[in-house]
Every structure is written in structure tokens, then in C-alpha cells.
Chains A and B, each alone.
Chain A
Amino acid sequence: MNRREALKVGGGAGALALATIAGLIRPGEALAQQQWNKAAFETKSVAATLKALGGSGSTESAQIQITAPDIAENGAVVPITIESAIPSTEAIAILIEKNPNTLSADFDIPPGTDPFITTRVKMAETSNIYAVVKAGGKYYHAA
């Protein structure tokens, strides 16, 4: 099952987070039960990744800012920052169009955490970078 679907129906990770607060299980154990969206990480195009994330109807948004150098001295380490100004941002995904697998990372942003993330990705070749943001149950993207 797709973890996003689990989140949508309000079970899964939400219930586990509650259990953590109650001190029933330690964070590490909660992680062991966490899922990894294999289907999404195996997609090979931006459209397929969007579909796998449940965001096929995504709209382009100017409120998502992608910061990356125009030239990476080394494609093995490309620093990327994604910042969303869309209210109620819940998740940010990073997609590298030309990589063998398009989806690079998917971050869940709980309330109280800034819709801002910096990480470093590998790029197989010159490529466009897409950010996909889930906010208020809807999907948005930017390139």
C-alpha cells in the first residue's frame, strides 16, 4: 500500500506518532514500521512519479522556490533547497527528470516545521529539477 494513501485515510503514521508521544514505543521502533514508497521510487518519468505520489492532477505554482547552482562542479553532490510558500504545505518531493529513477526524496512536513528543506542529490546528467508540494490535500509543482 502507498504510504500517502495511508496518510489520507488517517491511519498508519498518524496513529504511530500518537503511540510515540504516549511513550509506548521508541522512535526507532516506530521507524521499523515506517514504509518506503517503492513504487514511487522506481518510477522513471516526472509524470509517472506524480502519479505514484497521487498527484497526477498537480498544478504548476510560482509559490515553490527551487534553489540550486546552475553548474554543479560535480554531479555526485548537487545542493538543492526547496521552499514552499503555499499555506498548509504537508510534503515536499524532489524529482530529477533525467536520473535513472526520477524521485530522489520525499519529505513529510508536519505543522510547526518550516516548508523548507535543503539536501544534496546525485545527478546523472544535465537535467531539470522538479519540486512537488502537497498542501491542503492538493498537489503543486515547479521546475
Chain B
Amino acid sequence: MADPMRIRANMLGDKVEVRVLMAHEMETGQRKDASGAIVPAHFIQNVTVTHAGKTVLSAQWGTSISKNPFMHFRFKGGKPGEKVTITWVDNKGERRTDEAVIGGGS
């Protein structure tokens, strides 16, 4: 199973600032291994961030997002103590969902 994400969610004024790191190889499908064989593409295709049942960000990614992806964004309407939930799904159908509690001012 995929390793957990690291999510930091903190209030910045009236907004929630979210920074997330995901553990994923993000294989392009163009790299060759030591024996010269192509390593099949393996990458996150969809990311969804929800807060209080509402999607606050959704993304589609291609193979050119860096390994161990990082994302930073801000949304309105969250309060300290509430949860932010992030889910990714990759091209092999593997998925991972993690959540973080919104902290006070950062």
C-alpha cells in the first residue's frame, strides 16, 4: 500500500492554506531500467481535496508532475479544528486518502 501523505493545513487570515506532499514514484513511462526495459508509466491522475463535504480543489495530472508530488493552495470557509481530506488515484487504480486537522495561524 502507498505510504501516507503529509498534509499541513493552517489558517492564513480568513483562508486555509494547504500544503501537501504525496509519496509516489510518478513514473513517466519513458525511463529505462538497468536492463534497458521501459519502466511502465505509473502516476497519479486525479487529486481531490474536500472540506466539510465540499470539493475545494480537484486536479488532473500527467506524467510530468515531479516524483513525490507537492501542492500548495488556499481556500475560504474553513476553521481551526475542522478537517481537510485529500485523495489521489493513480493510473493503476491505486488510491490513498489522508486527512489533516486545520491548525491555527501559521
Q: Establish whether A and B are touching in the complex (CB under 8 Å).
A: yes
Q: Can you list the 6 inter-chain pairs with the closest CB atoms, starting with the nearest?
A: A118-B72, A120-B66, A113-B75, A114-B74, A41-B62, A36-B45
Provide 20 A-B residue pairs closer than 8 Å at the C-beta atoms, listed in order of the A residue: A3-B60, A27-B48, A28-B97, A31-B46, A31-B48, A32-B89, A76-B66, A76-B67, A100-B30, A105-B61, A105-B65, A112-B77, A113-B57, A113-B75, A114-B74, A114-B76, A117-B72, A118-B70, A119-B71, A121-B65
Is A135 located at the chain interface by the 8 A CB criterion?
Answer: no
Is A30 located at the chain interface by the 8 A CB criterion?
Answer: yes
Is A59 located at the chain interface by the 8 A CB criterion?
Answer: no
Q: Specify which chain B residues have a CB less than 8 angstroms from the CB of A113 in the assembled complex.
A: 56-57, 73-76
- Which A residues have a C-beta under 8 Å from some C-beta of B? 3, 13, 17, 20-21, 23, 27-28, 30-32, 34, 36-37, 41, 76-79, 81, 96, 99-101, 103-110, 112-114, 116-123
Q: Please, which residue of chain B has its CB at the minimum distance from the CB of A121?
A: B64
Q: Specify which chain B residues have a CB less than 8 angstroms from the CB of A116 in the assembled complex.
A: 73-74
- Which B residues have a C-beta under 8 Å from some C-beta of A? 15, 26, 28, 30, 45-46, 48, 50, 53-67, 69-77, 85, 87, 89, 91, 95, 97
B66 to A122, Cβ gap below 8 A? yes
Distance, CA A41 to CA B45, complexed state (A): 10
**Main DSSP-derived SS at the A contact region:** mixed
Distance, CA A116 to CA B15, complexed state (A): 12
A34 to B72, Cβ gap below 8 A? no
Cross-chain contact of A119 among B60, B65, B91 (Cβ < 8 A): B65
CB distance from B50 to the nearest CB of A (A): 5
Q: Specify which chain A residues have a CB less than 8 angstroms from the CB of B74 in the assembled complex.
A: 113-114, 116
Distance, CA A65 to CA B57, complexed state (A): 19
Q: Please, which residue of chain B has its CB at the minimum distance from the CB of A107?
A: B59
Q: Specify which chain A residues have a CB less than 8 angstroms from the CB of B15 in the assembled complex.
A: 114
